[in-house]
Amino acid sequence: MSVNERRRLTAVARGEAPADLYLRGATLLNVYTGELYAANVAVAGERVAYVGLRDDMVGARTRVLEVGGRVLVPGYVDPHVHPAHLVTPSALARHVLPLGTTTVFADTLQVWELGGLPAFRAVADALAPSPLKFYWMIRPQAQSRSAGEARRFRAGDIARALDHPWAVAVGEVTRWPDAWGGEPELLRRMELAHRRRMRVEGHTAGAAAEKIAAIAAAGFTSDHEPITAREVLERARQGIAVMLRESSLRPDLAGLLDALKEAPGLASRAMLTADGSMPAFVRDHGFVDHLLRVALDRGVPPVDAYRMVSLNAATYFGLDAEVGGIAPGRHADVCVLRDLGDPRPEIVVARGRVAAERGRLLAEVPEVPWRRALGSPAARLAVRWRARPGDFALPPRGRYPVARLVSAVITRLEERPLAAGDLHAALVDRAGRWVAPGVVAGFGDRVEGLASTISTDFNILALGRSPEAMARAVNRVLALHGGIVVVDGRDVACEVPLPIGGVMTPEPLAETAALEDRLRAALAARGYPHHDPLFTLFFLSADFLPHVRLTPRGVWDVRQARVLLPARRRPRER
């Protein structure tokens, strides 16, 4: 904020200059004191200038919202969001602003993988004026280990990204075993944040209690991965700020909140997050408003629940002078509620403007110039190569390392001959230079051919019982410049085009959610037994999850860190 803006705020607060917006007659939830009392709110520009009962700053051109009988709470904050799951960050913002979310702390993985530092800057600059504020956590590493990682994630570039005005953290750091082990290169990357008094967003999925001390000592400042109340406490007791998660993949919040019964003091620090929820889940349940409903249903006192989705997140990131409460100097982000029991707002004020009313978006959310941001032919998947059935042939063997899905994302290793219900699987290089063949069981035994550019390392994942159908699915994905395609015989049974880098569509969230429904139904009809096929595809190549993964090196045994079936070069096209 400039000194002139500050001067104007003080003038409005003194009653010597007119406010732009004035909310009159409501009860205010003060998240700093936990009190509820009658107060009006005066806004100048993007900020709150005054909170109280005077109205001498109401002038001829002040827009006055009469909100008698309503409750004002701070705009909701999600401290850990993956904003590029099928939809663009802008499309997500357009959907969740009317639901009261006005600030997110967002991941950079997809953008960074597809375009590095320049792409991150293009995205962060384009979204800097968005009514939904995007703060950024900078990925220090790829999601999975691969040969080109050092080139794609240069420490100097990460440092430069952290100097962007909207960058606030390093994260998410998925390799907690390296943090636990004190691996120096990771610690150096985390130090880039510590040196700037920034946060390090951790990921400690599955880490046992006795490992948390070393992980905290390494410098993880938060974790959003606990799946039980006990794990919440184990992390919180070591000083790690815990983000309680309710996502499409892990709808765990109700159980996690039990930690508050054992340790009520946690309410002053815990945060709530929707993490990487997919569009259909957000359409069906909501976003941070949904987290609030779950918390209120679970008996969390309303003041605590609203604080967990506002002030606690702001304070954790050291941004409580900017967001997270309705007070002078802060961004004017206000939800007007019928009552505290119903977190869906009637009116949402974001950055000082009425951004939504009765569920309708009124504000303009800028879109990123994606062609410029992700302009390289590789990012756009503008390639000449095409897949052939032979790409998916398995080397002749008596026994294969089969990855059996035991949940949407967890696999178990079975070393055995091929059996009915097994699918051919392959990770194929985006540029067509190599293919890593494997075998997957428990995905859906009637899938003939499927291809997806939604994968942990942004290569192409193919699955199916017919190599011909798999090749057709991959080639259809290439023709679409990215997406998810299911093929039956010669026909495309279902497709989700993702023309922005193979990870996003420019369409609105509700339309994308409808495509997601169709894909889910198509896979369920072919035997898919779990609840989140998108995360199955996304994580089949994620080498930080147990136990067998399809990686660029080949089929990978996570626990023993060894290749079970190697990748091979694809013969060049003529």
Interface with Fe ion (CB under 5 A): 275
Pick the closer one to Fe ion by CB: 231 or 275: 275
| Distance separating alpha carbons of residues 453 and 482, to the nearest angstrom | 6
Q: How many CB atoms lie within 10 A of CB 431?
A: 14
Nearest approach, Cβ of residue 121 and Fe ion (Å): 22
Pick the closer one to Fe ion by CB: 275 or 495: 275
Rg (CA), the chain: 24
Q: Which residue has the tokens 């750091």?
A: 173
Pick the closer one to Fe ion by CB: 349 or 454: 454
| Distance separating alpha carbons of residues 516 and 497, to the nearest angstrom | 11
| Distance separating alpha carbons of residues 445 and 439, to the nearest angstrom | 12
| Distance separating alpha carbons of residues 74 and 335, to the nearest angstrom | 6
Q: Locate 137 and state its tokens.
A: 């956590």
Q: How many CB atoms lie within 10 A of CB 33?
A: 10
Pick the closer one to Fe ion by CB: 9 or 236: 236
C-alpha 82: how far from chain center: 1
Pick the closer one to Fe ion by CB: 247 or 466: 247
Nearest approach, Cβ of residue 443 and Fe ion (Å): 23
Pick the closer one to Fe ion by CB: 44 or 274: 274
Between the CA of residue 414 and those of 344, 427, 542, what are the distances in Å?
47, 19, 18
Q: For the CA atoms of 309, 244, 181, 175, what is the dihedral angle to 10 degrees?
A: -90
Closest CA to 138 of 458, 323, 156, 151: 156
Pick the closer one to Fe ion by CB: 275 or 322: 275
Nearest approach, Cβ of residue 285 and Fe ion (Å): 18
Pick the closer one to Fe ion by CB: 70 or 245: 245
DSSP state of 246: B
Q: What are phi and psi of 403, to 5 degrees?
A: -90, 110
| Distance separating alpha carbons of residues 29 and 308, to the nearest angstrom | 13
Q: How many CB atoms lie within 10 A of CB 521?
A: 12
| Distance separating alpha carbons of residues 177 and 543, to the nearest angstrom | 12
With beta carbons less than 8 A apart as the criterion, state whether 420 and 446 touch.
no
Nearest approach, Cβ of residue 270 and Fe ion (Å): 16
Pick the closer one to Fe ion by CB: 275 or 532: 275
| Distance separating alpha carbons of residues 541 and 142, to the nearest angstrom | 12
Closest CA to 87 of 361, 458, 372, 367: 367
Nearest approach, Cβ of residue 544 and Fe ion (Å): 12
Pick the closer one to Fe ion by CB: 246 or 275: 275
| Distance separating alpha carbons of residues 372 and 122, to the nearest angstrom | 8
Q: How many CB atoms lie within 10 A of CB 418?
A: 15
Pick the closer one to Fe ion by CB: 70 or 250: 250
Nearest approach, Cβ of residue 200 and Fe ion (Å): 13
Pick the closer one to Fe ion by CB: 81 or 356: 81
Nearest approach, Cβ of residue 172 and Fe ion (Å): 5
Nearest approach, Cβ of residue 450 and Fe ion (Å): 25
With beta carbons less than 8 A apart as the criterion, state whether 51 and 9 touch.
no
C-alpha 320: how far from chain center: 22
Nearest approach, Cβ of residue 315 and Fe ion (Å): 20
Identify the three-state secondary structure at position 547.
coil
Contacts of 417 (CB under 8 A, 6+ apart): 398, 399, 400
Pick the closer one to Fe ion by CB: 94 or 224: 224
Pick the closer one to Fe ion by CB: 67 or 81: 81
Nearest approach, Cβ of residue 243 and Fe ion (Å): 9
Nearest approach, Cβ of residue 224 and Fe ion (Å): 6
Nearest approach, Cβ of residue 174 and Fe ion (Å): 8
| Distance separating alpha carbons of residues 21 and 8, to the nearest angstrom | 14
Q: Locate 272 and state its tokens.
A: 């709530």
| Distance separating alpha carbons of residues 207 and 377, to the nearest angstrom | 39
Nearest approach, Cβ of residue 137 and Fe ion (Å): 10
The residue with its CB nearest to Fe ion is: 275
End-to-end CA distance of the chain: 59
Nearest approach, Cβ of residue 203 and Fe ion (Å): 6
Identify the three-state secondary structure at position 194.
helix
Identify the three-state secondary structure at position 195.
helix
